[in-house]
Amino acid sequence: MKQSQLLKGVLEGCVLAIVAKGEIYGYELIQALQQAGFNSVMGGTIYPLLAKLEKNGDLASRMRPSPEGPDRKYYHVTEQGRTSLAAFERQWQQLVVQVATVLHKGDDADE
């Protein structure tokens, strides 16, 4: 399975988690994801996701002047977004346990 297929299911939660730490604009978000190891994430993936999260009410944005170039659109998490992030975290923890159970089932019998 390609990493991109796995990433589709978790990227939304990762974006919410990063934005929840503080207001951020798109390029900064891409850099933060890449620093976390998501090297294949590009603007063509992130900007539509930001638009979707904003349309759904998980994020809100405002334009702020940039020290260089045009104004930047900064995103922040709404209360609904915090609720969505908490749900993602619960689902992720459950999935981690389930996958670990499947991957390591029977390991004790091998010893």
Q: In this predicted structure, what is the pLDDT of residue 8?
A: 75
Q: Does the CA dihedral 22-24-29-32 come out positive or negative? A: negative
Question: Is the predicted pLDDT of residue 109 greater than 70, yes or no?
Answer: no
Domain that holds residue 49: 3-110
Q: Write out pLDDT tens, residues 26-70.
A: 999 999 999 999 988 899 999 999 999 999 999 999 999 999 999
In the chain, the number of structural domains is: 1
pLDDT tens-digit profile of 81-99? Answer: 999 999 999 999 999 999 9
> CATH number of the domain that 40 lies in?
1.10.10.10
Sign for the pseudo-dihedral over CA of 93, 99, 103, 107: positive
